[in-house]
Structure 1
Amino acid sequence: MGGGSSGSWSRLGDIRSLEEKAKQALQGGKRNVFISFATEDMDEVNLLRAHAKNENSDIEFNDHSVREPYNSDRAAYIKEKIGERIARSSVCVVYVSDSTRQSDWVKWEVQESIRQGKKVVGVHPRGKAPKITPKWVSDHGIRLVKWADLPKELK
């Protein structure tokens, strides 16, 4: 039995690097994105989802919308499941509209994404920037871009 211990740590790093390259190859270079949005913005977000389904798109969306009130009896369970979805994503895209400020869920999802070390990008459709951007967007230094600029932001 032998071998020095110094080589095993570098091999571990090599294995992790190979795992990451394999994941990217399997996804075809697409990004796994968690979308955070207020329920009132469902129609707009569905357009964003449709964009991602285009085979020429370089974005893969993974979203989990919340259908129960934030303070429901199941809030802890919902948070746990959303946290798992966020963990499987590489970036959180938060759809920012005039409705976003009132959503405790969106604020929590963004905070959870940041806590997990995920990149967070705010997006709005061209010509539809919110009248008032939520304070937590600037507090966390979240970049707010036009919908059309999102693919460049995710590279």
Structure 2
Amino acid sequence: MAKEYKIFISHSWQYTDTLESLRNLINARSHFSATYEESTKDKPINSEDESYVKTRLAQKIGNSDIVLALAGVYASHSSWIEWELDKAIELDIPIVGVIPSGQERTSTIVSSRSIVDVRWNTESIIAAIRKHAK
């Protein structure tokens, strides 16, 4: 039986369309199975208590085989993305940066923490997950 990868996608809530596009890209790949751990607007962590939110996010990251970080420039302006990536490093969860389609510039917040950055291409993303997931 094929491995089912648990993936946490670090993303900005302002760009949930990019998150959904990445999930769709991964889910459309035959012979590849993934579940997702991140919080989304559809499945938020319903709390304004930052400590509680960080605890829940840390659990989700820690339960993941890999973190995919959307490496658009907007990531450089998100303290949450930076925190999630630093937590992944602390928990020894590998990080792969995914450069959104059409992006020329990328976030150094992501590229300085990722094992590798890949372009928006199904095979590159799947290969990076298979190679680097724990």
TM bin (shorter chain)? 0.7 to 0.9
In structure 1, runs of 5+ residues without a counterpart are 1-24
Is the 2:75–2:110 Cα contact (8 Å) retained in structure 1? no
Q: Distance in 2 between matches of 1:97 and 1:122?
A: 9
Q: Distance in 2 between matches of 1:117 and 1:29?
A: 20
Is the 1:30–1:58 Cα contact (8 Å) retained in structure 2? yes
Residue 80 of structure 2 corresponds to residue 113 of structure 1: no
Residue 22 of structure 2 corresponds to residue 48 of structure 1: yes
TM-score, normalised on structure 2?
Answer: 0.79
Q: What is the match of residue 112 of structure 2?
A: 139
Q: What is the match of residue 102 of structure 2?
A: 127
- What is the correspondence of 1:29-48 to structure 2 with a 5 Å cutoff? 29-48=3-22
Q: What is the match of residue 89 of structure 1?
A: 64
TM-score, normalised on structure 1?
Answer: 0.69
Larger-Rg structure? 1
Q: Deviations over 1:92-141 (max 9, x none)?
A: 00011121111100000000001000110000234324x2x333334335
Amino acid at match of 2:17: D
Q: Deviations over 1:1-53 (max 9, x none)?
A: xxxxxxxxxxxxxxxxxxxxxxxx4xx32321110001122101101112333
Q: Percent identity?
A: 23
In structure 2, runs of 5+ residues without a counterpart are none
CA root-mean-square deviation: 2.3
- Bigger proportion of residues as helix: 1
Cα displacement (A) at 1:59: 4.5
Q: RCO greater where, 1 or 2, for CA within 8 Å and sep 6 or more?
A: 2
Amino acid at match of 2:62: A
Instruction: Report which stretch shifted further, 53-62 or 139-148.
Output: 53-62
Q: Distance in 1 between matches of 2:100 and 2:117?
A: 11
